[in-house]
Amino acid sequence: MKNEEITYTEAKAEIEKIVALIESDELDVDELSTKVKRASELVAFCKQKLTETDTELQKILEELNA
């Protein structure tokens, strides 16, 4: 699943699932690397979504105050 096809909520849930797997010590070394890479991609996606949302909200607030 590509990042563009998921929502912020889905990405956050997947990050939480990956963290739980890592904390449970159920991953072997090969899976660990893959999961950490995926989590990194998801964190970047969430950060971008939050930044975009903040920018949109700032524009709306500026328009309301104009």
| Confidence tier at 34 by pLDDT (50, 70, 90) | very high
Q: Is the pTM of this model over 0.85?
A: no
Encode pLDDT of 39-61 as tens digits: 999 999 999 999 999 999 999 99
For 24, which DSSP code? T
